[in-house]
Amino acid sequence: MNLYTNKKIFLLLTLLLPFAAIVNASYFPDKDDWDISSPENEGVSPDKIDRLMDLSFSDDATQAVVVIKNGKIISEKYADGYDLNSHGTSWSMAKSYYAALIGISLDRGEINSLDDKVSKYLEYFSDERSDITLRDLLDMSSGLDFPSHEHEKMFFQSDHLGYAKKVGVEKNAGEKFEYNNVNSMLLGDILFQATGKKADELFKERILDPLGINDYKLWKDEKGNVMTYCCVDMSARDYSKLGLLFSRDGIWNDEQIISKEFVDETFQVVWETPSRFTDYKRYYSLHWWVSKYDEESKIFNTSGKFGQYTFVDRENDVVVTRISKYSEQNNGSTQKWGIMKYLRWAGIENAIAIGRMLIASGTIESGSDIITPFTEEEGESYEFYVKYPEIIDSIADLSRN
């Protein structure tokens, strides 16, 4: 083969490689299936995938890990007794999903601006809370009262929205990042006032249906309020679809589900956050966490209690979902507390420990006497948190040459 021929081949490859990237980026999974590819075919070293899986499954709490590159599954692994159809529960990953609905309402003109005062939508905020904006809620800087339990006690109430409505002001809005569950619970009421529809109906119509996600639970409290600060049950593959939607600038197939402008605004650094479960430096913006933001890569993620994550490396079109072991409830998606209601003010850790003890002893039956998302001790992560910096580095490493 002569030099002239080599130059022609090189020129042809140079022209085709960008086109190949466009083709890859245009792939979206079908409603009921994904394309399965290999790491090599998507330009990723199998050794790097092995390292990520080894780190993730060094924690026995891990139920599933799914790795997506160019929209295709290049690796997935499940713990014994679980498979691709097994549900996890999102816990606070759901915050990012319901925040996306705010973005969609903004795109549709139902909400005018993220800098609108919350009182424009919620009359009961026309008091000491009147300076708080939608952006303050989404950036976790509302200044609302912030107890040590971060309002996780709200989870054990019969009326979560009623609880959230009563929370007063502690400091000026926009002054400090504080991870406050009430900020997220209020999103459902804002959406209802702006659209006339409850958040679970909007989530189904505007995101889940277009993405072909049809096997899920969207949890509500005993009064029928959508728990917009937590608790969406679905498979690791389906959580990954939500990550892919953000990786692809809010586009799904040929439809702009969320505007690129809102995704761009989400994927930036607003707050440097205090340490939570790890000393590894993280950031926050519009109900998404930021685990890495430098010249090498920018990795954003949804995050949920006990170790639920979807990581998105948007620039490299990489999505990684990891969920912990979950015993799915089979009797609906509306909470029922039964005798557990007496533990509402016992403290979060006490309530969890006592609940686990009562279920283990057979005193109460989960899914019958009590209906709620519930993570047993085997699904509570430890090693994953310890190795979090290594895990983030291994995700970034998937795109290194």
259: containing domain: 88-320
Question: Mean pLDDT across the stretch 359-371?
Answer: 86
Predicted confidence (pLDDT) at residue 400 exceeds the cutoff of 80: yes
Residue 196 resides in a domain: yes
Instruction: State residue 348's pLDDT score.
Output: 72
**Phi and psi at residue 286, in whole multiples of 5°?**
45, 50
Q: Give the chain's domain count.
A: 1
Query: pLDDT (tens digit, 9 = 90+) per residue, 205-248?
Result: 999 999 999 999 999 999 999 999 999 999 999 999 999 999 99
Question: Mean pLDDT across the stretch 19-26?
Answer: 48
Residue 374 resides in a domain: no
Residue 241 resides in a domain: yes
Residue 356 resides in a domain: no
* Residues 246, 356: Cα–Cα separation, whole Å: 36
Looking at 28-37, 123-132, 211-220, 281-290, which range is the least confident one? 28-37
Predicted confidence (pLDDT) at residue 6 exceeds the cutoff of 50: no
Query: pLDDT (tens digit, 9 = 90+) per residue, 33-83?
Result: 899 999 999 999 999 999 999 999 999 999 999 999 999 999 999 999 999
Domain CATH number, residue 171: 3.40.710.10
Residue 200 resides in a domain: yes
- More confident of the two residues 10 and 196: 196
Looking at 67-81, 355-369, 376-390, which range is the least confident one? 355-369
Question: Mean pLDDT across the stretch 159-170?
Answer: 97
Residue 270 resides in a domain: yes
Q: How confident is the model at residue 344 (pLDDT cuts 50, 70, 90)?
A: confident
Instruction: State residue 25's pLDDT score.
Output: 63
Residue 294 resides in a domain: yes
* Residues 197, 393: Cα–Cα separation, whole Å: 41
Q: How confident is the model at residue 8 (pLDDT cuts 50, 70, 90)?
A: very low
